[in-house]
Structure 1
Amino acid sequence: MSTLHVLSHSPYADSGLSSCLRVLGHEDAILLCGDATYALTPSTAARQSLDDKADSLRVFVLDEDAQARNLTLPDWVKSVDYSGFVELSVLFDKVNTWL
Structure 2
Amino acid sequence: MTDTGQLTFTTLGGETVTVKKRGKHYIQPRGYIQRPGTGPAGETCGTCEHITKSRHFAKCELSRGRWTRGRGTDILVKAPACRRWEAASE
Shorter-chain TM-score bucket reads under 0.3
Question: Given the two structures, how large is their TM-score scaled by the length of structure 1?
Answer: 0.22
Structure richer in helix, relative to its length: 1
Determine which structure has greater relative contact order: mean sequence separation of CA pairs < 8 Å that are 6+ residues apart, divided by chain length: 1
